[in-house]
Amino acid sequence: MINLRLPENKISYQVRAAIFKSYRTLGPGLLESAYQAVLLYELEKAGVNVQCEVPLPLIHDHIKLNVGYRIDLLVEEKVIIEVKSVEVLAPVHHKQVITYLKLSGLKLGILVNFNTDDIQNSIFRKVNGL
């Protein structure tokens, strides 16, 4: 059951806890799909409603276009998680989360890069200014 009254900040704490646990278990150097699967499992185990690979349509001129965008993880239908495992996050990775927030109308996104020696400094909150 989705808890629509659960605020985004509370959700983000649960997400961060699951990220830390996933990282401690796996460490750096794996593919994004491995981190996404383990993070999905940890969130489900914590009792959080989470969906994986959620289609994100593009609305243009009042027409819904399914162009293949997918949200890596959607938590409680409120928070987007974009999972990366790259040498260095590029500016486009940050812009991607902001754009996904705008397209979805959601307020909070979390970008995480698991390919790091310091996971604490590789988690970024992104807020949609609506």
Residue 68's Cβ-count burial label (10 Å; 0-12, 13-18, 19+) is: exposed
pLDDT at position 130 is 59
Contact 17, 25 (CB under 8 A): no
pLDDT at position 66 is 80
Q: C-alpha distances in angstroms, 121 versus 64, 66, 105?
A: 37, 34, 27
The 3-state DSSP composition of the chain as helix, strand, coil percent (nearest 5) reads 40, 25, 35
Mean pLDDT of successive 10-residue segments in the chain (130 residues)? 73 97 97 98 96 92 87 97 97 96 95 97 92
Question: DSSP 3-state assignment of 91?
Answer: helix
Domains of the chain by residue range = 8-127
pLDDT at position 4 is 57
